[in-house]
Amino acid sequence: MTGRPDEPPAADRSGEPLLRVRGLKKHYPITEGVLRREVGRVRAVDGISFDVYPGETFGIVGESGCGKSTAATTLLRLEEPTDGEVLFDGADVSAASKAELKRFRRRAQMIFQDPTSSFDPRMSVGESVAEPLRIHGMRDRDRRRRIAQDLLERVGLSADDVDRYPHEFSGGQKQRIGLARALVLNPDLIVADEPVSALDVSIQAEILALMRRLQEEFDLAVVFISHNLSVVREVCDRVAVMYLGEIVEVGPTERLFADPQHPYTRALLSSIPTPDPRERGRGIELTGDVPSPSDPPSGCRFHTRCPEIVQPDGYEFEQVHWRRVMDLRAKLDRGEVGRESALDLAAAQSTATAGATDGARATGTPPDEARAAIRRAFDLPEALTDERAEAVLSEALGLVVDGDSDRAAALLAKEFSTPCERRRPRAAAVDDGWSATCHLLDGSRRSEGVEPLPGRED
């Protein structure tokens, strides 16, 4: 947490990390039949690596379903990892015995999104806050009570609240109680999973300020998980951006927000609402369907939606049209575009524009109209600016309208293949502690005859 007047000093990253995560994976098997034969896997977290230093706030951000919450529960071993290593203060948590795990859990606590469901409604607030002390062997009930009272005061509640019950508190107050409970064992690390997203905006600011104060007071490292980029920017020293189970960019928060290097980060950041009317509407629209983590795309997982996807060798036309050609190709591959749908589209478009009552299909749609209808449906121009690319696209559309979608798909796959779908990009260093995983940065495009970005002669 750096740069604001009310914040603790920046975390010292010159020493050893408190938490080191290497190649962490969490896959869920998909089973079928009475024998529960494994037929696939949901790759919720698929090989993530990062370090968290003492006193640091490390953010993990991404759309819902990207695997960030699974990353949290897996690194704390609330769920068993499928593979990878988690080192906490030098000790291997992923291979820890029961006793070692218990010691680890004293030092690493979790805060959940929904404070309501994380309390037992039959236990008083004091009992809930002190529960971890009892589990870890403190038998003196009065002492537990005194510690709970002290913590309730430190999180901005009253010592008298110790005998009240969770339903008597608001959402924000419950999250304060959740913080008190997380701190009761004096941990070194807190993993906070969307800790303020269930709260009103006005309360969010209070809880974030409280977390900052407590972080300094208790000298805590925090892994802060959120889909809310504004909140992440507010509280995190460094941030990792996750997409479909993988980290695509990691770096110092302010620099990454000011100059995002990965196309997905750029798209995410462009979607942050802004009060400046001149900046509104500048969001990068992501086309293409969100892929399933049970069947992630080949090569770069973002290639089915990436607005900056690398064009094939020998072609050069408007990037936005290239993206749309790839969207068409994907739908052809899935059998979602064919002669019938093209004719239906042409009929619908002709009815809409001419106001005709009998669609063009009923009177026999000319092939030109059907081809044009597909272009309009994918927002493609009448002709691509690259003549060779246009010839390929025209031929493919002709094949679709002639009823041979398979050959059209094969033609587009052969001519319009991109390194982004063929090869996994490598993480490329942008600067010290800052890297992004994209062919635009990793230098591999040059091997395919494509120039790197200006200023990136790596």
Chain residues binding ligand SF4 by CB under 6 A are 263, 300, 302-303, 306, 308-310, 420, 425, 438-440
Supply the minimum distance, in Å, between the C-beta of residue 416 and ligand SF4. 14
Give me 432's structure tokens.
């010290």
100-117 per-residue burial string, b: 16 or more CB within 10 A, e: under 16: eeeebbeebbbbbbebee
Closer residue to ligand SF4 (CB): 297 or 398: 297
Supply the minimum distance, in Å, between the C-beta of residue 42 and ligand SF4. 22
Closest CA to 115 of 194, 49, 190, 46: 194
Supply the minimum distance, in Å, between the C-beta of residue 229 and ligand SF4. 18
Closer residue to ligand SF4 (CB): 300 or 401: 300
Give me 389's structure tokens.
């690319």
Give the pairing type, strands 221-226 and 189-193: parallel
Closer residue to ligand SF4 (CB): 208 or 286: 286
Neighbours of 87 (CB within 10 A): 17
Supply the minimum distance, in Å, between the C-beta of residue 300 and ligand SF4. 3
- Residue 89 falls in which region: left (phi positive, over 0), alpha (psi -120 to 50) or beta: left
Supply the minimum distance, in Å, between the C-beta of residue 432 and ligand SF4. 22
Neighbours of 175 (CB within 10 A): 30
Phi, psi dihedral angles at 38 (to 5 degrees): -75, 120
Closer residue to ligand SF4 (CB): 127 or 308: 308
Closer residue to ligand SF4 (CB): 250 or 420: 420
Supply the minimum distance, in Å, between the C-beta of residue 303 and ligand SF4. 4
Helix 387-401 vs helix 405-415: crossing angle, to nearest 10:
160
Give me 366's structure tokens.
């000319």
Closer residue to ligand SF4 (CB): 81 or 312: 312
Evaluated on CA atoms 299, 301, 305, 307, the torsion sign reads negative
Closer residue to ligand SF4 (CB): 170 or 298: 298
Phi, psi dihedral angles at 269 (to 5 degrees): -65, -30
| Contact present, 164 and 171 (Cβ < 8 Å) | no
Supply the minimum distance, in Å, between the C-beta of residue 318 and ligand SF4. 16
